[in-house]
Amino acid sequence: MIDFFKGFGVTFSTMFKKVVTEQYPEEKKPTEPRFHGRHVLNRHPDGLEKCIGCELCAWACPADAIYVEGADNTEGERFSPGERYGRVYQINYLRCIFCGLCIEACPTRSLTMSHEYELSSDSREAMIFTKDMLMAPLPDGAKPTPHTDAEVVARGLTYYPGPAAQKAAATKAAPPPPAAATWRSRSRSAPTPSSRPAKPAGSGTGTWSRPSGSDATARGSWPA
Ligand code: SF4
Ligand code: SF4
């Protein structure tokens, strides 16, 4: 009998507590800032894709949930800055455990995770998200891929081979400052080409030579 009244006591006290039931899906609560949701393949501001098809995300994935096939950009069809782009990109959300290792591995910050968590489906096929499903929307004023190299150059972009690399190349190509040049000429007593003894044919380390003709794609050889 005492237990009976104890039970009613619990019910009665609960009636005056604040209701914690969430009205999902009518009312969605914001996620935590670092929540790992559905992936996004990001773009540059001009619409080019950040993914370079390197497959590092696929290698990093412990659940083998990512499939990537890279391909070469061409002069007339450029999808990303640089040489390669992700031609095929798929994430299998039946395998993904949302650990985020793939986004850590991505060298271009192409792959990031959104806050979207509504990923259920009654079809196995629908849970394999393809590249067009994962691509971020085009930024305002951007053009969908592919672009041509001429368009990119006309926009004044310096993707090729990238701003940092271009800066480094410019520094490398610049002549040494006069003081350094003078020091070098004083410190080195390198023989001039005319005073250098001629190398016997076929000897020494020589230079790499590309095979010609039909064998042009084969590996070259160092002279013996
Ligand atoms: S979040 Fe983790 S499990 Fe999911 S695709 Fe990325 S690496 Fe794989
Ligand atoms: S998403 Fe990133 S890591 Fe994955 S293939 Fe593209 S560039 Fe490489």
User: How confident is the model at residue 108, as a pLDDT?
Assistant: 94
Residues of the chain with pLDDT under 70: 158-224
User: How confident is the model at residue 35, as a pLDDT?
Assistant: 96
- Contact between 64 and 98 (Cβ < 8 Å): no
Nearest CA to ligand 2 atom 2: 106
User: How confident is the model at residue 80, as a pLDDT?
Assistant: 94
Ligand nearest to the CA of 60: 1
User: Of the residues 36, 66, 92, which should be mutated to test ligand 1's pocket, given the most ligand atoms within 8 Å of the CB?
Assistant: 66
The predicted-structure confidence for 188-200, as pLDDT tens digits, reads as follows: 444 444 444 444 4
User: How confident is the model at residue 175, as a pLDDT?
Assistant: 55
Contacts of 169 (CB under 8 A, 6+ apart): 161
**Tokens 């040049």 correspond to what residue?**
181
The ranges assigned to domains in the chain are 48-158
Nearest CA to ligand 1 atom 2: 99
What CATH code would you report for 48-158? 3.30.70.3270
CA dihedral 212, 214, 219, 220 (to 10 degrees): -10
User: Of the residues 43, 44, 48, 55, which should be mutated to test ligand 2's pocket, given the most ligand atoms within 8 Å of the CB?
Assistant: 55
